[in-house]
Amino acid sequence: MTAPVILLPVDGSEHAARATAYALKMAGLMRARVLLLHCHRPFPVKLGEPYFQKAIDRIMVDSSALLEPFRSTLTENGVEVTDLIMEGPPADKICDVAQVESCEMIIMGSRGRSDLKGLLLGSVAHRVLQQAPCPVLVVR
């Protein structure tokens, strides 16, 4: 039997850090592994080579660096962690990953780094609550 999976989408915000603390507790209670997810901004498709590849490399390095403190917090506390970096709308990608990975739950911050954008377009957390295939814990 495989361990349950908790999906933890992070964006580097304080809300994501608080969600990580809850994911750490829940992973211990559920004997679950955590799947860290970061959705980055779209690749700049208008750039030609070699600039396009350099832009992709920079985004991937930045995304990996953003995940590192979350990864470290979880692994230092004995939680099995895998991570995933995706391009695209966060709410859609979070729900897609939860579906594909058969996640037991999603734990996420109530607000991210793009508070103004969330205010104008509807928050990522709200959209995930509406579309998620599993329970969602939203941490303030």
Share of the chain above pLDDT 90, in %: 76
Residue-level pLDDT at 50: 84
- Total domains, the chain: 1
pLDDT digits (tens, 9 = 90+) for 51-68: 788 888 999 999 999 999
What CATH number is given to the structural domain containing 49?
A: 3.40.50.620
pTM of the model: 0.90
pLDDT digits (tens, 9 = 90+) for 14-73: 999 999 999 999 999 999 999 999 999 887 777 677 878 888 899 999 999 999 999 999
One DSSP character per residue, the chain reads -PPPEEEEE--SSHHHHHHHHHHHHHHHHHT-EEEEEEEEPPP-TTPPTTHHHHHHHHHHHHHHHHHHHHHHHHHHTT--EEEEEEES-HHHHHHHHHHHTT-SEEEEES--S-HHHHHHH--HHHHHHHH-SS-EEEE-
Structural domain containing residue 11: 5-139
